[in-house]
Amino acid sequence: MISKMNKLFLAYITFFSLVLLLMACSTAQEEVTRWYSLEQVATGKPLYAKHCAGCHGSNGEGAPNSDTPLPNGSYPPQPLNGSGHSWHHSLSNLEETIKKGGRHPGATMPSFGHVLNHEERITVIAVFQSFWSDKTYRGWLWRGGLD
Ligand code: HEC
């Protein structure tokens, strides 16, 4: 037979276990705050569709076999949806690529320095980052995406 004390003790233990479980769940699902606003994504969407989607895909899926170098050593259009390397580059690095074009000699990625101004380049980044999962976005932040 369980004594009154033991019952009380069990009730406490159950209560605190539940609290701990709830705390663990809420940390795991915590939303990450993105650096961009929904307005920036909305502004960038037509720019992305016009200037980027033709090569990188309307959802940033990239070209098939984007991992395989071309005969000249450059790469096909990379995925921008988080499945490729784009999340390895900081915001300023991504902007630099868009401004100056492909990094590898012979790359077909054009430079957009005279086509899109700084704010517009930032909004197309917001568009393709909106394709990223929270997990990818957290990984990017952890690697110093905003440094
Ligand atoms: C004519 C095709 C083409 C267009 C248009 C184009 N890109 Fe690219 N993009 C490429 C190619 C090819 C590469 C790989 C370049 C290399 O080998 O250095 C690339 C690479 C990139 C990278 C680096 C990705 C990584 O994983 O390192 C980013 C970021 C990028 N493009 C963004 C954009 C954005 C944003 C636009 C629109 C403003 C755009 N690109 C328009 C072809 C294109």
Written as one letter, the residue type at 37 is: S
User: Dihedral sign, CA of 74, 145, 48, 97?
Assistant: negative
Contact between 111 and 99 under an 8 Å Cβ cutoff? The reply is yes
Residue pair 79/52 in contact by the 8 Å Cβ criterion: no
On whether the pTM is more than 0.75, the answer is: yes
Q: Whose CA is nearest to atom 30 of ligand 1?
A: 98
Each of the 147 residues of the chain gets a pLDDT tens digit; together they read: 567 777 777 777 777 777 666 666 555 557 899 999 999 999 999 999 999 999 999 999 999 999 999 999 999 999 999 999 999 999 999 999 999 999 999 999 999 999 999 999 999 999 999 999 999 999 999 999 999
Specify the DSSP class assigned to residue 139.
H
Q: Whose CA is nearest to atom 19 of ligand 1?
A: 77
- Pocket-forming residues, ligand 1, beta carbon under 6 Å: 51-52, 54-56, 74-78, 80, 84-86, 89, 94, 97-98, 102-104, 107-110, 112, 124
Q: Which atom belonging to ligand 1 lies closest to the Cα atom of 94?
A: 29
**Residues 145, 34: contact at Cβ < 8 Å?**
no
Residues written for the chain = 147
CA 88 – ligand 1 centroid, Å: 14
| CA distance linking residue 76 with residue 87, whole number of Å | 17
User: How many angstroms separate the Cα of 118 from the Cα of each of 106, 114, 122, 123?
Assistant: 25, 10, 6, 9
Q: How far apart are alpha carbons 45 and 100 in whole angstroms?
A: 21
Return the pLDDT at 3: 75
CB atoms within 10 A of CB 137: 19
Per-residue model confidence (pLDDT) at position 38: 98
The pLDDT score that the predictor gives to residue 36 is 98
Which pLDDT belongs to residue 22?
Answer: 66
